[in-house]
């Protein structure tokens, strides 16, 4: 039976008082910020999150599974999930997470990061957007209560206990939670979970905004969209004549349009002369510069009406960004429990754009298993490869060659 982990959080608060204060744990526990003000911590984390967003985009866009496909994700959802994970990381695993997220350890410690995210999660709550985190813990697994309490206090985490051996029931519980929090936009976050799963941590975000000036549905008509120089596809193209902030920016060789929602949010559309060239130069400082340089122009604007869904297994991507140990038996997540590792990090996102506005949702899920269940990576020489026979002492190459067909 699934039950809300109220007792889990109560025990966390009680047990903290008697916790051992080892030197390594002191480095990451949630203590009052003393070295810098909260505002400075929030500013540092905000800057790191923006830089992380573009580095993660670059990693996703260049990944073979994303080539020539839509790329859409929520960097803040991924940042929150990994920051929450870093609460329980120690040693090299913690260092990799901090470096991967772009946190400068000389300016920020874990306590400051935790408090900054608490402030950011509280500030981002609005009528248009909502976000939060949740943790699902197996009823036979006992995470470090200090870890759970930090999640609740700093990451506003909902806690639940489940029986992961009852895979269908536990998957239904997680999927229902995600569906409720994303208003049905993401309704199957997990499927075929490992029976070795002992904990699942997730971060969600949901946004629904209406244009300040809506498009007229009667003006929407079919037009062709150029996927590339050889391919065109029909789309429902919305259009409007309106005054928007705009710039034809020579530094990035792109037209940039700013479309406001009837709130503090807006959508920035960037139409480059060359997408590959744009991806190489676009960064947070460029976005800031462009926003300050835009001026009002009246245009007849055409924007496609569309609905997309994306799904990413981020294990390879995050490993490529330096966060490797958490996926291996070397994982040091002793702040959560001894002998624990991350088996997968999954991110799913949706975006719907129509005449009224835009709706977007995303969830990042982190699945935990005992490190003993982590399978070693597979390396198959099942395509042409080179071979060398060498003297280890002299490093002389006795033989070398290329194997293109082992059967010949």
Joined together, the tokens standing for residue 291 give 């926003």
Query: Which residues, in sequence order, are CB contacts of 288 under 8 Å at separation 6+?
Result: none
- 104-135 residue pLDDT tens: 999 999 999 999 999 999 876 677 899 999 99
Which of 195, 203, 202 has the alpha carbon at shortest distance from 168?
195
Mean pLDDT, range 345-357, rounded to an integer: 96
Helix (H) or strand (E) holding 171: helix 167-181
pLDDT for the residue numbered 314? 96
Strands 129-138 and 157-162: parallel
pLDDT(85) > 50: yes
In the chain, pLDDT over 90 holds for what percent of residues?
74
pLDDT for the residue numbered 387? 84
pLDDT for the residue numbered 6? 39
pLDDT for the residue numbered 169? 96
Question: So where are the chain's domains?
Answer: 3-209+308-373, 211-306
pLDDT for the residue numbered 1? 43
What span, in angstroms and rounded, lies between the C-alpha atoms of 326 and 70?
28
Q: Within 10 A of 34 (CB to CB), how many other CB atoms are there?
A: 9
Which of 280, 277, 252, 276 has the alpha carbon at shortest distance from 268?
252
105 and 78 in contact (C-beta within 8 Å)?
Answer: no
pLDDT for the residue numbered 401? 79
Q: How much is the CA Rg of the chain, to the nearest whole Å?
A: 24
- 210-261 residue pLDDT tens: 999 999 999 999 999 998 888 899 999 999 999 999 999 999 999 999 999 9
pLDDT for the residue numbered 127? 77
pLDDT(17) > 50: no
pLDDT for the residue numbered 66? 74
Question: According to CATH, what is the number of the domain 211-306?
Answer: 2.30.39.10
Which of 268, 267, 307, 262 has the alpha carbon at shortest distance from 126?
262
Joined together, the tokens standing for residue 200 give 């699942």
pLDDT for the residue numbered 11? 42
Confidence of residue 7 (pLDDT cuts 50, 70, 90): very low
Backbone angles phi, psi at 289, to 5 degrees: -65, -45
pLDDT(19) > 80: no
Question: According to CATH, what is the number of the domain 3-209+308-373?
Answer: 3.30.497.10
Least confident of 27-41, 265-279, 294-308, 366-380: 27-41
pLDDT(12) > 70: no
217 versus 25: the higher-pLDDT residue is 217
Confidence of residue 168 (pLDDT cuts 50, 70, 90): very high
Mean pLDDT, all residues of the chain: 88
Joined together, the tokens standing for residue 332 give 């040091």
pLDDT(37) > 80: no
Three-class DSSP category at 395: coil
344 and 148 in contact (C-beta within 8 Å)?
Answer: no
Tokens 């009406």 -> residue: 305
DSSP codes joined into one string, 311-366: EEE-HHHHHHTT--GGGSTT---TTT-TTEEEEEEEEEEEEEE-SSEEEEEEEEEE
- 391-401 residue pLDDT tens: 778 778 788 87
What span, in angstroms and rounded, lies between the C-alpha atoms of 59 and 170?
32
pLDDT(26) > 60: no
87 versus 382: the higher-pLDDT residue is 87
pLDDT for the residue numbered 402? 81
Backbone angles phi, psi at 116, to 5 degrees: -65, -45
Three-class DSSP category at 397: strand
pLDDT for the residue numbered 124? 65
Question: Which one-letter DSSP state was computed for residue 298?
Answer: E
Tally of CA atoms within 13 A in the half-sphere of 173 that contains its CB: 23
Cα separations in angstroms, 89 against 20, 80, 402: 16, 14, 43
pLDDT(24) > 70: no
What span, in angstroms and rounded, lies between the C-alpha atoms of 191 and 230?
37
The vertex-204 CA angle with 62 and 196, nearest 5°, equals 85
Cα separations in angstroms, 37 against 5, 27, 155, 318: 33, 18, 19, 30
317 and 57 in contact (C-beta within 8 Å)?
Answer: no
The pTM (predicted TM-score) of the whole model is 0.87
Q: Within 10 A of 70 (CB to CB), how many other CB atoms are there?
A: 11
pLDDT for the residue numbered 138? 97
pLDDT(141) > 60: yes
Joined together, the tokens standing for residue 101 give 């997220």
């Amino acid at each position: 039976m699934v039950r809300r982990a109220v007792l889990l959080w109560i025990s966390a608060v009680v047990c903290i008082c008697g916790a051992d204060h080892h030197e390594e744990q002191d480095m990451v526990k949630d203590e009052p910020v003393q070295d810098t003000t909260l505002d400075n911590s929030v500013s540092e984390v905000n800057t790191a999150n923006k830089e992380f967003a573009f580095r993660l985009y670059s990693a996703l866009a260049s990944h073979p599974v994303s080539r020539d496909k839509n790329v859409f994700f929520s960097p803040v959802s991924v940042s929150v999930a990994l920051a929450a994970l870093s609460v329980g990381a120690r040693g090299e695993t913690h260092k990799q997470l901090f470096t991967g997220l772009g946190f400068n350890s000389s300016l920020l410690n874990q306590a400051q990061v935790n408090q900054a995210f608490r402030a950011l999660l509280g500030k981002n709550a609005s009528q248009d957007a909502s976000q939060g985190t949740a943790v699902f813990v197996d009823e036979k697994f006992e995470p470090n209560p200090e870890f759970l309490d930090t999640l609740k206090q700093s990451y506003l985490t909902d806690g639940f206990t489940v029986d992961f051996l009852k895979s269908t029931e536990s998957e239904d519980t997680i999927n229902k939670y995600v569906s409720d929090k994303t208003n049905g936009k993401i309704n199957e976050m997990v499927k075929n979970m490992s029976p070795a799963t002992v904990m699942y941590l997730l971060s969600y975000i949901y946004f629904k905004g209406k244009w300040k000036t809506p498009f007229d549905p009667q003006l929407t008509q079919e037009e062709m969209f150029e996927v590339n120089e050889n391919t065109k596809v029909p789309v429902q193209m919305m259009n409007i004549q309106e005054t928007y902030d705009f710039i034809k920016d020579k530094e990035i060789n792109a037209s940039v349009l700013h479309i406001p929602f009837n709130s503090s949010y807006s959508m920035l559309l960037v139409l480059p002369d060359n997408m590959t060239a744009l991806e190489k130069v676009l960064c947070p400082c460029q976005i800031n510069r462009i926003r300050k340089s835009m001026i009002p122009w009246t245009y007849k604007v055409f924007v496609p009406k569309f609905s997309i869904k994306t799904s990413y297994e981020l294990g390879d991507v995050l490993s490529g960004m330096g966060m490797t140990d958490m996926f291996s038996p070397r994982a040091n997540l002793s702040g959560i429990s001894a002998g624990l590792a991350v088996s997968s990090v999954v991110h799913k996102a949706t975006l719907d754009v129509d005449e009224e506005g835009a709706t977007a949702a995303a969830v990042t899920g982190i699945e935990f298993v005992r490190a003993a269940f982590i399978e070693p990576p597979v390396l198959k020489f099942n395509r042409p490869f080179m071979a060398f026979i060498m003297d280890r002492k002299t490093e002389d190459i006795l033989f070398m060659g290329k194997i293109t067909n082992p059967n010949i």
